[in-house]
Amino acid sequence: MARTLADATRRVLGSRRRGDRAAAVPGADDTDAALVADLVEAIGADRVRADAAARYLASRDASIYKEGNAGPVCYPGSTSDVVECVKVATRHARAVSPRGAGTGLAGGAAPLGQPVVLSMTRMDRLLEIDLDNGVAWVQPGMVNLDLSRALAPHGVHYAPDPSSQAACTIGGNVANNSGGPHCLAYGVTSAHVLAVEVVMSDASVVTLGDLTAEPAGYDLRGAFVGSEGMCGIATAVAVRLTRNPPAVRTMLLSFDDVSDAATTVSAIIAAGIVPAAIEMMDQRCVTAVEDFAQAGYPRDAAAVLLVEVDGPAGGVAIAGERVADIARRNQAISVRTAADDDERARLWKGRKSAFGAVANVMPDYYLHDTVVPRTRLVEVLERIYEIVDRHDLIVLNVFHAGDGNLHPILAYDSRVPGTGERVQAAGREIIEMSLDMGGALTGEHGIGVEKREYMNRMFSAVDLDQQSRLRASFDPHCRMNPGKVLPSAHSCSDIGALRASDAAGVWG
Amino acid sequence: MTEFDEALTAFAAEVGTDGPVCVRGGGTRWSLGGEVAPGTREVQAPEGIVAFEPAEMTVRVRAGTPVAGLHEELAGDGQRTALPERAGGTVGGALMAGESSIACLGLGPVRDVLLQARYVCADGRIASAGAGTVKNVSGFDLCRLLVGSLGTLGLVGEVLLRTFPVGETERWVRLAGTDPGAVRSCYTAASVLWDSTDVWILLSGYAVDVDDDLSRLAALGACEDVDGPPELPPHRWACTPAEAAAFDARNGAAGPFVAEIGVGVVHASQPQPFRPVESGVVELNRRFKERFDPTGRLNPGRDPLRKP
């Protein structure tokens, strides 16, 4: 990092000596002066930054990947600003990488090869609430939770609720096909996006999907959602509005054995109950959360399940009782039902602050995201503890148990020599174990840079060739957020512009 | 990565590596998106359930399997998929047509059913898209692209589908002369159909909730039990939910109709007039077809842009 800042400072000083148009933007890199000048001319000086601080911030996301390298950073205020930026970038033979809040955990928003970065955070307005069609049009920079707050007076909400929902943007959610606890019953982002206005790599503007149930042609919005910024830049999104359920019951089930909790999860699904959410936390996580958020979780439990059922009141009562029965049959030591909205909010606060709470345990953490068949949770958790013990590390488990979406958090101190290697090795084993169990590389965080080279482990060369055809159909010249998702052999040839160091793996 | 089963590899061999080829399922939507070009070799996808895992709520099934037969099997464990049942219709056909069930409101659309697809590419090789789990965002979402593609990008041989529990109680009722907007308060409505006079409603859920909704409906007017939905006119119109709810005599060309309220599909007596598609969308469709099937051998003559 010290070196990056030193380089950046040199750039700042270098550019100040120049008297050309780029001087309007402090800190423009020498080599980028003409590019920056053109961007300024296209969208205005107040929407372009090339100083070291802006580039540094735009070079990273919330992952541990630190090798991102942003070119000039633009803050478009409209679709036409985005169009102009793409045109200028193309003229200068530079790629374009969009980003939202940068809360991504896989390096998807870490720009590779000094592209023009488009920070979409100023396009954060709610454009229209259309109750007759059950949709809202929003700009990509709108924060997920702000959207649900704005919808609240209408008795509807936006269902996908990632843990980062207080910060993450709808555009980022579209890029990652984000999930969240309530996606168990309601489905992930893809099921809640009806249409997307996209600026394509050739600077044309196309609306993928529409408000009809079955738009003509290929399901292009379906293909676009989850494409990690590599198929174009979303400038407006039509999201589905979900009716607020008439009744909700939130329960905290505690167990003195992790396996009993995992068995309970499988038993609930096997009984034909699809709760709105089933979240699991193990003891280390519960302790960290209690120290941090005082959610009222029992510290003596080996594991807790946070289960929510919703719908009409009668069914909620029945499903709630059935869930409680299943838990008791599986040796639950306590079954607590939230008595009111306050208690319910407190229980969820504990779950949603889990990642922040890790800071009280260790200074660094590496959060994994894999999926396994939900019937195999007992065995999978045993394997995770075994792997982590063997590498002499600490793990906190907090995850979407209902759909088998694991989030083991490896907590560590990067100042201790050799720790990084052990975290990396344990992480690799967890990923491989998940795949061996019939699982998937990622359930909601995406591939980004982090898991790019694992794609060969999950998919054959034929499979990856098909995926690269999808990408190339949208963006034939690989100008959009290049270098992500597909392993190097399947990436476009013309991303040679990427510097070799950028293409290195997560740990460099 | 997996070993593909024999039925799938045999299907790939039958599809081969060159020459125009189309897949016949139940033939229930055979002309959707255009007639297959003359002289196209016809093949059939393999049939049979590979693995049903009720506790996982998934089923692995070969594309040539009839949907009704699949649902019969799943019903043994109180489950089903969101695929529509048409007499003789197959799993592959339903996915490739991409038309949701009339109970879409409750079941969700066909596009969300597909978790994993194993399909024969234009070059005759077998590709796998998606994952064997209920949640996955590993790479680009080819599964969504395949649903509704009419077999023009790849020929699906085997799929993993999401299943879910059938409602404890399911009841079709009819309300004479009711405004369909008035039934919005029914949370258990899995289908609301309206023919400009009467409203048919499928209630699905816990008996106690269905009963609640029934008393709510009774307050609106005469509500009678019926065997099922009304007969649906043959032509499917793509509409927004608002357009469907306001569908009326002004659409004289449609003839008698049944609108799916809250969804946006209208079943009409006459075909839907051409709805213009943005040129950028047309161009993208062309590029997808060209990239996935450079020689145009897969289901030639069919074009998803010409649906419905």
DSSP A97-137: EEESSS--SSSTTS-SSSPEEEEGGG---EEEEETTTTEEE
Domain stop point among A122, A152, A170: A122
CB A13 within 8 A of CB A53: no
d(CA A176, CA B138): 10
- Do B69 and B191 sit in the same domain of this protein? no
Identify whether A153 is part of a domain. Answer: no
- Do A464 and A374 sit in the same domain of this protein? no
The answer to whether residue A164 neighbours chain B at the CB level (below 8 Å) is: no
B99 min Cα distance to partner chain A (Å): 7
Identify whether A165 is part of a domain. Answer: no
- Do A470 and A422 sit in the same domain of this protein? no
Instruction: Output the pLDDT for position A507.
Output: 35
Stretch B3-30: mean pLDDT? 95
Q: How far is CA B210 from the centre of its chain?
A: 25
Instruction: Output the pLDDT for position B308.
Output: 74
Identify whether B295 is part of a domain. Answer: no
How many domains does chain A fold into? 3
d(CA A396, CA A407): 9
CATH number for the domain harbouring residue B226: 3.30.70
- Do B175 and B236 sit in the same domain of this protein? yes
CB contact under 8 A, B131 and A458: yes
Compute mean pLDDT per 10 residues along chain A, 508 residues long, and list them. 37 37 51 94 97 95 92 98 98 97 95 97 98 97 97 97 94 97 94 98 98 95 98 98 96 96 94 94 93 90 97 97 98 96 93 86 92 94 96 94 95 93 96 97 96 95 97 96 89 48 38
B47 min Cα distance to partner chain A (Å): 23
Instruction: Output the pLDDT for position A491.
Output: 66
Q: What is the pLDDT of residues B31-50, one digit of tens each?
A: 999 999 999 999 999 999 99
Classify the complex by whether its ipTM is higher than 0.95, answering yes or no.
yes
Going by C-alpha positions, the residue among A204, A208, A202 that lies closest to residue A225 is A208
- Do A376 and A411 sit in the same domain of this protein? yes
The answer to whether residue A145 neighbours chain B at the CB level (below 8 Å) is: no
Residues of chain B with pLDDT > 90, as a percent, come to: 86
Strand pairing class (B114-120; B169-175) = unpaired
State the alpha helices, DSSP H only, in A330-460: 341-352, 354-357, 377-390, 419-436, 455-458
- Do B147 and B222 sit in the same domain of this protein? no
Identify whether B200 is part of a domain. Answer: yes
Instruction: Output the pLDDT for position B277.
Output: 94
CB B162 within 8 A of CB A190: no
Q: Which residues of B touch A218 (CB under 8 A)?
A: 145, 148-149, 153, 284-285, 288, 304
Going by C-alpha positions, the residue among A181, A312, A279, A182 that lies closest to residue B106 is A312
Q: Tell me whether residue B209 is exposed, middle or buried, using C-beta atoms within 10 angstroms of its C-beta: 0 to 12, 13 to 18, 19 or more.
A: buried
Q: Share the mean pLDDT of chain B.
A: 94
- Do A378 and A421 sit in the same domain of this protein? yes
CB contact under 8 A, B125 and A220: no
Q: Which residues of B touch A207 (CB under 8 A)?
A: 278, 280-281
Instruction: Output the pLDDT for position A502.
Output: 44
Structural domain for A398, as ranges: 362-452
A450 min Cα distance to partner chain B (Å): 12
Instruction: Output the pLDDT for position B251.
Output: 62
CB A189 within 8 A of CB A177: yes
CATH number for the domain harbouring residue A448: 3.30.70.2740
Strand pairing class (A116-119; A96-99) = parallel
Q: What is the pLDDT of residues B19-31, one digit of tens each?
A: 999 999 999 999 9
Nearest to B240 among A133, A451, A486 (CB): A133
SS3 B51: strand
CB contact under 8 A, B304 and A218: yes
- Of the listed ranges A373-382, B180-189, B230-239, the one predicted with least confidence: B180-189
How many domains does chain B fold into? 2
User: What pTM, to 2 d.p., does this model score?
Assistant: 0.94
Q: What is the pLDDT of residues A34-60, one digit of tens each?
A: 999 999 999 999 999 999 999 999 999
- What is the residue whose two structure tokens read 């290929």? A218
- Do B28 and B152 sit in the same domain of this protein? yes
d(CA A168, CA A248): 25
Sheet holding B199-205, edge to edge: B223-226, B169-175, B199-205, B189-194, B257-260, B265-268, B235-238
Structural domain for B14, as ranges: 6-165
